Structure 1
Amino acid sequence: MNIDFRLANVLLDEGDHSASNPDLYWHRTQVPLRSAEGTCALGATSMGVRYDFATYFNALSTIKWRRYTVVDNVWLHLRAKGDFTLTLVGITENQPFIRVDVGANTDFSLALEDVDELGEPGRTRLLTRSFSSDVLSDVDVEFPSIADDLVAFELVCGSEVQIAEAYYYTKVDESLVRPVELAVATTTFRKEDYILPNVELLRHQVGECDEPIADHFTLHVIDNGRTLDAEGLTGGCVRVHPNPNVGGSGGFARGMIEAMEQTPRATHVVLLDDDVEMSAESFKRTYNLLSLVKDAYRSAFVSGAMLSLEQQNLFHEDIGQVTGDGFYAPAKRAHRLDSLKGVVGVETENLPFAEKRERYAGWWFCCVPVENIERHGLPLPLFVRGDDTEYAARCHAKIMTMNGISVWHMTFGSKFRASVDRYQVLRNSLIGQATTGVYADHDFAKVVRVLFGYDLKTFYYEGCELTIRAVRDFLRGPEYLKRVDGAALMKENSQKNEKLVRIEDMDPSILEDVEVSREELGDIQRRNLAERAFDYLTLNGHRLPDPLLTDEIGVIPFTGYYPNYIRNRTRLLVVSADLHEGVYREMDRSRSEALEREFESVLAELRREHDRVYAEWAASAAELTSVAFWKDYLRRMAAPEA
């Protein structure tokens, strides 16, 4: 028997997000949308005001629904009143997209002005009808074709039009609808400003909504900081679990265990960061997608896109990759989502090298089928960073993405901390490779050398020390990882993080004759072969006599590699992306020489002990990813003075 199955809601009023970024929801002429007694009013001060819903949140990605699911027809439902003309449209990619080369020294915190222009998508009017009603009435129209990449609709108002409800749906045989029990596991550590609004949003807009997901949704809040009112917050679809501070990997492992042990047992677990802003619709679309998924995608992950919290119309990542030279990067280019070109680009961009490089879904929003957990185990106890990349690689995960399944999250270029990006990332990459066999073709020792050299040449000696420690702790083997207090280690390592200060608060003598230009800092750093050889052989002047160096201060961004701005300098001003903060560094030859010797020593040990250490890690894989290990580990970490 055929039933009507909702695919995606049309979002008319999303509070601050739609007010500040309306082009993510609709394009209009003249008059804005406004709420009116549970409806949204499309105002028209004159005939012919047009609203276009071919946007990131309100177009339907038929290319994805056809690829992933059994959907073969799409309808639009409106509950509306007023006089209007409805046009259904199909949208296709017109021009191929050019991939941006992501090299070892690329800064991935792209600004909007860095995003290349794309060709205009093709747009076809599929059907046009006029409607008029003085009372709220149901309008249901089938799209004549869903062969385009996306479909959407336009309304031209002949009067004020009120819309009480709008959504896309399909007619499908009831037997093809899969049972889904969706659990969300969010790990938090003293971020009440984010987590409390998110809990209430999910409680009311998902757990208490009038859609099927409401009866099949559980939110597990893993409170690593033990600062939430667990008893007061628990209720309805929400369950709060006080937890020792075992980082993201420990919190998500606990969430996976709770999801598998809840009643009814979860079929899928969404792993969700605590420091995000989001729409309830992301979870509804995920549930609907999973309900209709084809057998070929039954065990696939769903990866929610990271939209920039700093620039909320900028797409940053929905699938990541480990590049050929061992660095982590978005697999797609950046896109502006306030234009149709960007929306189509995100949905249609192909990944031609996907079979050659490891792909992953970040745990800011990643839905994992429980059958994968049963088959491949729980995360490694890595505390933070690398747990999500290793896990997707271990599961050989297919990854599904969809417009509107997303969160707003601070992009990583704004969050650089050496304790994380030099110690945790490097150590955990080596551990993942050795333990579960992921990234088999990647040479992380080369990555270690590149980053150490970059920090040395930019006088970030504390970063060099953390890189050395990352390799030394990997060499200590799995017994060390089982015992170490990850929170205490992070606290200790964080002492080596640089403390940026506001530019106006810095010593005036440092800033004298220094010019900080956003345009100049955005220049591409091209070098010829002689310049590359010179930079390598001299370590940016560390090996040159003083007369060949200059005390003129070089200015570089906090992330990325800018060799032309540091060459032969003995002093550097390192500035944040917004140019409001910075840190001052000076060359220290004796410290550099000592670090070089120590670094070469630890790399020699890594080469010498490689086979033995890798064998020890591999032998521990089954234990470190088991439910029994994690329950014991969480118990030990929760013990007094653990």
Structure 2
Amino acid sequence: MYFSKEAFIKRTIKTILQDKLLQSKSIEILIVDNAGTLSRSEFSDRRTKLISQRNIGGSGGFTRGIVEALSSNRNSHILLLDDDIELESEAIYRAITLNEYAKRDLVIAGSMLDLSQKHQLYEAGALYNKALHNREFQAFNIVRLHHHLDLQNVSNLNLLVETEPIDSAGFYFLSVPRKIFESIGLLLPLFLKVDDTEFCLRIKEKFGNDTLITFPGIAVWHEPFFAKSSIWNYYYYRNDLIVQAIHGTLRYTDAIAYFTKAIVASLLVFDYKNAQMLVKAFEDYLQGAEIIQHADPEQWHSQIMKLDSLFQTQQIQYHNLPSHPQTERTTANLIEKTVSLLTLNGHFLPNVLTQDKGVLLWQTADCAGRRSRAFRKKRVLIFKEGGQCLYRNELDKSVGIELIVRWLALAIESRMKWSKVMTEWQQVSKEFTSLKFWRRYLNLDKSSIEKSERQDLVA
């Protein structure tokens, strides 16, 4: 399910401006346009301001708005909202009221409801680097609290009152006191992905568990992340590496184990695009801070997107498979798993042993399907539940072997660099979240600000 973000933005702003409860509140709406697709004439209300800039990703868009808000002394809190949410404005009124009655500064994380199934709660905050059941350390793992909770079931509503400390929350709805930004700095310039998690981790480290909270009745609808997945998303696992390095939780063995598992899992279903993105992510993390300091973010992202077109053996077809195949419910035995892994589902077997057949794998947000069924097959068809795309991947032994060899060489090379690179990311983190850095990164020199102000007066 995909929608025009411009339509979402206009609808969200209209919803806020027309809310009678918010009329008595002093609010200013800053719309940051990274894409250059919005017009100032569409936002004529005195409470709105459109800010146009080059595309420097989600972190750049949010931070541009934060910098603008901090330049004024008229506000006490800054509310970050995604550009593709569906909102009931009462959620904002509740957040304002909660802040008015609170005896201390709170960072209020709105919950995320599933836009495709509006009665389902997708997450009410999340845990980071923790296992689902025992909450012990598990590198790169995200536990979405109250995931897929059915809110039509009245008995489930009591679960929302039970509080559990959260590690992170999304920028689809996050209310932050300006004092927080003034204390811990701005966002990391990560372009896309994990900037919200890193910011929340800093909040917890500085202010403890009780500052970042969720609250029943404060939520927005958002498309589930699984449905929005794109191949280039996997490149931004680079950001997970950066964030964990900065916060001192990243061990070499954990990182290698996680990436090896993810790369092998991709190669088992002949997903060379995914595997390549993961290898590239690791390579660029090892370059250190230079990857952010000297690269143009928009051009860099464009180059990453071009990598998507390198493999002709992978195609996307539009399909609608309404029911889950019963054959997918079985699990592989130990022998099947072992043979599947040792041969990488046929990459290391002679061509004569490869069958000119295909296999369908049904994937959900929690299950990738039984990959061993692709053993000795020529092609794999993957259908992601909730979507309308059928991914067709064909076996290319030379590409698969090249990628696994490249990864193994990288894993060995990185052992020598690990501590040095990790220290470098830690040392630059304070600079990268400073107002001075962001003003330079956003090209906010005096002349550009004056030009923007003149445009506002003309509009």
Same fold (TM over 0.5): yes
Q: What SS class does the counterpart of residue 69 from structure 2 fall into?
A: helix
In structure 2, what is the equivalent of residue 290 of structure 1? 99
Query: Is 1:581 aligned to 2:386, yes or no?
Result: no
Alignment CA distance shift 1:538-1:346 (3 Å): farther
1:341 is matched with which residue? Answer: 155
**1:359 alignment partner, one of 167, 176, 180:** 167
Q: 1:225 to 1:214 in 2, by over 3 A?
A: farther
Match for residue 195 of structure 1?
9
Equivalence map 1:25-174=2 (5 Å): none
The 3-state SS of whatever aligns with 1:395 is helix
Letter in 2 for 1:535: S
1:571 alignment partner AA: R
Provide, for residues 391-410 of structure 1, a one-character-per-residue CA deviation record: whole Å limited to 9, x for no partner: 11122154322232111111
Check if 1:431 corresponds to 2:242.
Answer: yes
Distance change in 2, residues 1:317/1:499 (3 Å): farther
Q: Aligned partners of 1:394, 1:364: CA distance in 2, in Å?
A: 18
1:229, CA displacement in angstroms?
2.1
Task: Work out whether 1:500 is the aligned partner of 2:306.
Answer: no
Q: Which has the higher strand share?
A: 1
Q: Separation in 2 of the partners of 1:544 and 1:372?
A: 57
CA distance in 1, matches of 2:444, 2:103: 42
SS at match of 1:256: helix
Report the CA distance between 1:439 and its aligned residue: 6.0
Secondary structure of 2:229's counterpart equals coil
Q: Which of 308, 311, 315 matches 2:114?
A: 308
Q: What SS does the aligned partner of 1:450 have?
A: helix
Structure 1 residues 399-457: Cα deviation after superposition (integer angstroms, max 9, x where no partner): 3222321111110111111211x101x10011112234466799333222221111111
Of 319, 323, 332 in structure 1, the residue corresponding to residue 125 of structure 2 is: 319
> Which residue of structure 2 aligns with residue 65 of structure 1?
none
Letter in 2 for 1:415: K
Residue 81 of structure 2: aligned partner: 272
Counterpart contact for 2:328–2:361, Cα < 8 Å: no
Answer whether contact 1:454 1:561 (CA < 8 A) is retained.
no
Q: How far is 1:321 from its partner?
A: 2.1
Q: Find out whether 1:404 has 2:213 as its counterpart.
A: no
| Match of residue 470, structure 1, among 267, 281, 299 | 281
Q: What do residues 532-588 of structure 1 show as CA deviations (whole Å, max 9, x unaligned)? A: 333322222222345654433111135642225434432111123247431211111
Correspondence 1:227 to 2:37: yes
> Could you tell me how far apart the structure 2 residues matched to 1:445 and 1:463 are?
16
The separation in 2 between residues aligned to 1:519 and 1:395, in whole angstroms, is 42
Rounded Cα–Cα distance in structure 1 between residues aligned with 2:197 and 2:62: 14
- Partners of 2:293 and 2:59 in 1: CA distance: 13
8 Å contact 2:185–2:433 — kept in the other structure?
A: yes
Structure holding more helix per residue = 2
Task: Give the corresponding residue for 2:133.
Answer: none
Counterparts of 1:437 and 1:268 in 2: how far apart (Å)?
30
**Taking structure 1 as reference, are residues 634 and 388 closer, same or farther at Cα in structure 2, changes over 3 Å only?**
same
Which residue does 1:62 correspond to in 2? none
Query: How is 1:434-473 mapped onto 2 (pairs within 5 angstroms)?
Result: 434-437=245-248, 443-473=254-284
Q: Quick one: distance in 2 between partners of 1:580 and 1:227?
A: 27
Q: What letter matches 2:231 in structure 1?
A: A
CA distance in structure 1 between the aligned counterparts of 2:360 and 2:417, rounded to whole angstroms:
40
Following the alignment from structure 1 to structure 2, what is the Cα–Cα distance between the partners of residues 389 and 305? 15
Taking the aligned partners of 2:64 and 2:336, their CA distance within structure 1 comes to: 51
RMSD: 2.9
Where 2:216 maps in the other structure, the secondary structure is coil
TM-superposed CA distance for 1:636, in Å, is 7.7
Would you say 1:253 and 2:63 are equivalent positions?
Answer: yes
Query: Which residue does the alignment assign to 1:374?
Result: 182
Question: Is the 8 Å Cα contact of residues 328 and 362 (structure 2) preserved in structure 1?
Answer: no
One of 331, 346, 368 as aligned partner of 2:145: 331
User: 1:238-296 CA deviation, whole Å, 9 max, x = no partner?
Assistant: 222112211110111112112222241x222221110111100110011111111244x
Q: What are the superposed Cα offsets for residues 344-385 of structure 1, whole Å, 9 maximum, x if unpaired? A: 33433x65xx5xxx7200111112222221221111100010
CA distance in 2, matches of 1:619, 1:533: 43
Cα distance in 2 for residues equivalent to 1:450 and 1:222: 38
Structure 1 residue 533 corresponds to structure 2 residue 347: no
Q: Hey, what's the Cα distance between the residues in 2 that align with 1:240 and 1:228?
A: 8
Decide which structure has the larger Cα Rg and report it. Answer: 1
Alpha-carbon distance in structure 1 between the residues aligned to 2:424 and 2:276: 25
Change (3 A) 1:407 1:450: same
The 2-side partners of 1:428 and 1:518 are apart by 36
- Cα distance in structure 2, aligned partners of 1:593 and 1:240: 50
C-alpha distance in 1, partners of 2:36/2:389? 33
* Equivalences, count: 425
Change (3 A) 1:442 1:274: farther
Q: Is the 8 A contact 2:21 2:93 kept in 1?
A: no
Return closer, same or farther for 1:306/1:203 CA change in 2, 3 Å cut-off: same
Of the candidates 268, 283, 290, which is equivalent to residue 479 of structure 1?
290
Equivalent position SS for 2:112:
strand
Which secondary structure state, in structure 1, belongs to the residue aligned with residue 392 of structure 2? Answer: strand
Asked if residue 608 in structure 1 is aligned to residue 416 in structure 2, the reply is yes
Q: How far 1:483 moved relative to its partner?
A: 2.1
TM-score, normalised relative to structure 1: 0.61
- Residue 59 of structure 2 contacts residue 189 of structure 2 at CA under 8 Å; is this kept in 1? yes
Paired letter, 2:78: V
Q: Deviations over 1:145-188 (max 9, x none)?
A: xxxxxxxxxxxxxxxxxxxxxxxxxxxxxxxxxxxxxxxxxxxx
User: Would the aligned equivalents of 1:472 and 1:602 in 2 still touch at CA under 8 Å?
Assistant: yes
**8 A contact 1:521–1:556 mirrored in 2:** no
Q: 1:437 to 1:542 in 2, by over 3 A?
A: same
SS of the residue corresponding to residue 382 of structure 1 reads: coil
Structure 2 unmatched ranges of 5 or more: 131-137, 309-313, 449-459
**Mapped pair 1:594 → 2:405:** no
- For the pair 1:388 / 2:202, whether they are aligned, the reply is no
Q: Sort the Cα spacing of 1:363 and 1:565 in 2 relative to 1 into closer, same or farther, 3 A.
A: farther
Structure 2 Cα separation of the partners of residues 345 and 548 of structure 1:
54
CA contact (8 A) 2:241 2:250 kept: no
Question: Which of 571-580 and 540-549 deviates more?
Answer: 540-549
Look up the equivalent residue of 2:358 and give its one-letter code: I
User: Aligned partners of 1:383, 1:376: CA distance in 2, in Å?
Assistant: 19
Give the AA of the match of 2:65.
G
* CA positional deviation for 1:337: 1.4
Distance in structure 2 (CA, Å) of the matches to 1:482 and 1:304:
32
Greater Cα offset, 320-329 or 334-343: 320-329
Quote the Cα distance in structure 2 between the aligned partners of 1:477 and 1:569: 40
Overall identity of the aligned pairs, in %: 26
Contact map agreement 1:190 1:225 (CA 8 A) in 2: no
346 and 334 in structure 1: CA distance in 2 versus 1, 3 angstrom threshold: farther
Aligned pair partner of 2:356 in 551, 565, 571: 551
Give the corresponding residue for 2:230: 417
Which residue identity is paired with 1:304? G
